[in-house]
Structure 1
């Protein structure tokens, strides 16, 4: 089975509904390590060598976060700046992350149709994730389309949140058990809970 490492970054954890529910759904799964960045590093004193060792030990790296001002929360960016060093993650001799799978799990407050040239966000959601996707390429990782919850603030009110959280757990288990159709998923712009029906093979429905 693949070993999954999830970096969960949310500076307002006590106000979170979607991201906290997602994290709680996968936190104790076998073969899954969940790192609550803001809980572990409240003073931003990131332990670089420990984080690098942890990256080496896992096969799938997932960044889970709410989209903040079209980017990641600041601690996740700082983690990237410090941990993904030249000679470790990229550059001469930097092949520690080569061939590992990389994926984002993102919540966005705007509705899906806002993320287009005709919508009020003007660009597709993936445009705002381009720096992360390019980082994965530079580190020779295999990037997959993000798992996305649009209009996340209203999701708990219109009953979409339970399906999304359940889907996140199914996704993580599918990646762990190597049942996720990575090649097929690559044709998607983003992955949503309803897409997992065709992207997870041999799934038990009990």
Structure 2
């Protein structure tokens, strides 16, 4: 299985969590890691190239910091520019059919903060439903999300190993 990880972090070099997660992923075979903010620092997305990369990979992982209850703005622009009518959905928009998609996100809060009655009121699964719906509309298969909550430095190494395993072996789809 060919896996592409699209990392969308505006300050990736300063992110201890995301760097740890990526460090473990880089050890995995058939895993292509891309830094969206580095590749498109001018915010001009090469749609044809993105289409080709999506076609070439079986599983696509969107890795990003949970950013105001959503994804960072360049990833939102990527969705808007790349997942186009007639290519990703609509008549003849079958290019993503059978592709697997996964979200991997990091938070500054604990898991208890992301629940009913918690500080953030809702679960991460509830907050990422718009992305899940986008993938479903594009005929993709949405896999369970990986969430790295506020981990201690000691726990981060184990969390990174768990992440690499999760990305490679997750097969359970969420109800659509």
Q: Which residue of 2 aligns with 1:40?
A: 39
Q: Which residue of 1 aligns with 2:114?
A: 115
Number of residue pairs aligned between Structure 1 and Structure 2: 175
**SS of 2:130 mapped into structure 1:** helix
CA-CA distance at 1:186 after TM superposition: 4.3
**SS of 1:10 mapped into structure 2:** coil
Is it true that 1:144 corresponds to 2:149 in the alignment? no
Structure 2: distance between partners of 1:124 and 1:30: 32
Q: Which residue of 1 aligns with 2:159?
A: 164
Once the two structures are superposed, what CA deviation does each residue of 1:76-133 show, in whole Å capped at 9, x if it has no partner? 1111110111011111110100111111011111111111121010111111101110
Q: Which residue of 2 aligns with 1:82?
A: 81
Uncovered stretches (5+) of structure 2, i.e. residues with no partner: none
CA-CA distance at 1:48 after TM superposition: 0.5
Q: Which residue of 2 aligns with 1:31?
A: 30
Once the two structures are superposed, what CA deviation does each residue of 1:114-154 show, in whole Å capped at 9, x if it has no partner? 111210101111111011100110011111110111124xx
Uncovered stretches (5+) of structure 1, i.e. residues with no partner: 175-179, 188-206
Structure 2: distance between partners of 1:70 and 1:52: 27
Q: Which residue of 1 aligns with 2:11?
A: 12
Structure 2: distance between partners of 1:98 and 1:66: 27
**SS of 2:64 mapped into structure 1:** strand
**SS of 1:19 mapped into structure 2:** helix
**SS of 2:135 mapped into structure 1:** helix
- Which consecutive segments of 4 or more residues in structure 1 shift more than 3 A? none
Q: Which residue of 2 aligns with 1:200?
A: none
- TM, length-normalised to structure 2: 0.94
Aligned-residue RMSD, C-alpha: 1.5
Structure 2: distance between partners of 1:169 and 1:62: 11
Larger radius of gyration: 1
**SS of 2:4 mapped into structure 1:** strand
**SS of 2:63 mapped into structure 1:** strand
Structure 1: distance between partners of 2:126 and 2:120: 11
Relative distance call for 1:37 and 1:110 in structure 2 (3 A) is: same
CA-CA distance at 1:61 after TM superposition: 0.8
